Amino acid sequence: MKPSTLLVLSLSLLHCADAPSGEPPADETFPSEPTRAPTLTTEESAPSVADDEGGCGCPHAAAEAPRTLADDDRIALEADDAPAIGRRDAALSVVLFGDYRCPFTLRAFPLLRELLARRNDVRVVFRQLPLPMHPDAEDVARAALAAAAQGRFGAFQDLFADGRRQPPSTTELTGLLALSEAQLRDALYSPEVDASLARDRALATKLAVHASPTLFVGGRRLEGLPSPESLTATIEAALED
């Protein structure tokens, strides 16, 4: 077993997909310069993600057997350039490509939280995959990266601990990051956040990740949101490699 075997959690058994045709997302999905004001909401106006499986209006794939990832792609995913929770020296890194407005990504968060609570040999890395079908998903992705830049990513994820479906409000974010609204806008569109989004987009394109969430566990690509039992079995198999 390699000391930092990567688990890239590519959750796509149940997922939101950006391009049924298999085409990668268009460049304008990830603007490097602000073209509009962030659409983060107030507490009163925050819309909920639908609870039902078809609620996001996107297709969902059936479960598939794991597929193996090439070594060079595993190395790229293992790079310490994305927010993470867990021990830095953990034997396995679980990398999640997700969209904070996709109900299936939101279902993955409690699964990963429980995983981290019972194991210290796994670290979860979060990569952003805001999909065009969710208009405000990029704003929430930027908020996550802005929180990470200030060392507050764990606190940002805690906002979703109770299964909430709404994106964080501007008031919540200014309080969490101790910023004014003007400073928050600057943080959301900082060069660091732009670069992180571009890097995650490039990785998603290279790996043909078009669905949220998506998992790779020790080089094994899992299409769809796994059951706790399936995830545990895949982790154990990866630890034995």
Supply the DSSP symbol for 91.
S
Q: Which domains does the chain have, with CATH numbers?
A: 5-240 (3.40.30.10)
Q: What is the DSSP string of 154-204?
A: HHHHHTTTT---SPPPHHHHHHHHT--HHHHHHHHT-HHHHHHHHHHHHHH
Asked if residue 53 has pLDDT above 90, the reply is no
User: Where is average pLDDT lowest: 38-47, 112-121, 190-199, 228-237?
Assistant: 38-47
Name the average pLDDT for the chain: 79
Averaged pLDDT, 62-80 = 68
54: which residues sit within 8 A by CB, 6+ positions away? 60
Asked if residue 29 has pLDDT above 90, the reply is no
pLDDT at 74: 77
Q: How far apart are CA 73 and CA 85, in angstroms?
A: 21
pLDDT at 56: 54
Sole residue written with tokens 């943080």 = 187
Helix axes 191-206, 71-78, angle to 10 degrees: 160
